[in-house]
Amino acid sequence: MSPGSKDNSIGCRKVRAQFSALSDRDEGRLGSPERNALNSHLDGCARCTREYRLHTLGRTALEAAGSSEPIAPDSEFFVALRARIERGPAEEPAPTRGYVDESWAAALLLTARQLLPAMAMLLALIIGATVIWNGGSQGQGEVAIRPSELIVLGDMYEYRPTADDVLETLVVVEDRENGR
């Protein structure tokens, strides 16, 4: 199977679950077709390849730590390390078609793409219900405002009080002061 072929149905999760079986030295744990499918996926998926390399590096480090032999780098190690540092970080290859990206970011983006239309529709329903609710209460008639409120709120409602309104307001204020 080539990395771009259409029969690559193995997903990243399945490949990651098989890392330990793939890195085992025992060939009997994985069959040849399964091993070929996993290797084919690793050839085409940069993310899984990087994770597999980290997995094998971790296993190698654990094996080396458990070894009784002293470990020392060879003379070419530091030359290669300096050259790699000077090159800078390696660029990741573009994702290959035919493989499913199963990262959290991809799942979040897919979820957001599905939820945004539903949330927009819900918002439209809420706004529509609010307009209908408020529009229905205004159609029943205007709210009565007492003359004393009209004088206080005159600027807001562009209302010019008449002499009768002022006299009525003074009567209301005097009644409140007298406790009636």
How many of the other CB atoms lie within 10 Å of CB of 35? 15
What pLDDT shows up at residue 3? 44
What pLDDT shows up at residue 162? 77
What pLDDT shows up at residue 27? 60
Give the separation between CA 96 and CA 41, rounded to whole angstroms. 10
What pLDDT shows up at residue 126? 93
* Residue 166 CA: distances (Å) to CA of 66, 81, 160: 98, 93, 10
What pLDDT shows up at residue 148? 56
What pLDDT shows up at residue 59? 85
Please give the average pLDDT of every successive group of 10 residues along the chain, which has 180 residues: 49 84 70 84 88 87 83 85 86 60 74 85 91 67 57 58 81 84
The residue assigned the tokens 């540092």 is 85
Give the separation between CA 20 and CA 95, rounded to whole angstroms. 24
In terms of Cα–Cα distance, which of 54, 71, 44 is closest to 19? Answer: 54
Structure tokens at 88: 């800078």
Three-class secondary structure of residue 6 per DSSP: coil
What pLDDT shows up at residue 124? 92
Q: How much is the pTM? A: 0.40
- DSSP category for residue 58: H
